[in-house]
Amino acid sequence: MEPRQNKPRSNQRGKTQAAKQGKRAGVQKPASGAPQRRSAAGSRSSAPAGKRAPARTSDREAARRKTRRRTAETKPDPQAPRVVYVPAAPFSRGKLLLQLTTVVAVVLALTFGVSIFFRVKNITVDGAVKYNAWEIQQASGIREGDGLMTFGRTVACGKIKSLPYVDTVRIGIKLPDTVNIVITEFDVLYALRDESGSRWLMTADGKIIDQVDSAQAAEHTEVIGVRLLLPGKDQEAQALEDAPPAQATGESAPQTVRASDRLSAVLSIAQYLEKYGVIGQVASIDVTNLGRIELQYGQRFLVQLGDATQLEYKIRCMKSAIDEMKDYESGELDISFTIRPDEIIYTPQG
DSSP 291-329: TSEEEEETTTEEEEEESSSSHHHHHHHHHHHHHHS-TT-
Could you report the per-residue pLDDT of 179-221, keeping only the tens digit for each? Answer: 999 999 988 899 999 999 999 999 999 999 999 999 999 999 9
Counts of helices then strands in the chain (DSSP H, E): 8, 12
pTM of structure: 0.62
Contact by Cβ (8 Å): 281, 199: no
> How far is residue 289 from each of residues 38, 48, 220, 305, 312, measured CA to CA in Å?
124, 123, 22, 11, 19
What is the topology classification, in CATH, of domain 120-185?
A: Ubiquitin-like (UB roll) (3.10.20)
Taking only Cα atoms into account, the Rg of the chain, rounded to an integer number of angstroms, comes to 54
- Where are the chain's structural domains? 120-185, 190-241+257-348
Quote the CA–CA distance of 269 and 295 in Å, as a whole number: 10
Could you report the per-residue pLDDT of 240-263, keeping only the tens digit for each? Answer: 997 665 554 555 445 578 999 999
Contact by Cβ (8 Å): 294, 225: no
Hey, how many other C-beta atoms are within 10 angstroms of the C-beta on 283?
A: 14
- What's the CATH number of domain 190-241+257-348, 1.20.1070, 1.25.10, 2.160.20, 3.40.50? 3.40.50
Could you report the per-residue pLDDT of 37-51, keeping only the tens digit for each? Answer: 444 444 444 444 444
Q: What average pLDDT does this structure show over 19-34?
A: 46
Local structure of 208: helix, strand or coil: strand
Per cent of the chain over pLDDT 70 is: 75
Which residues, 6+ apart, have CB-to-CB distance to 289 below 8 Å? 225
Quote the CA–CA distance of 225 and 51 in Å, as a whole number: 124
Assess whether the region 120-185 and the region 190-241+257-348 belong to the same CATH fold. no
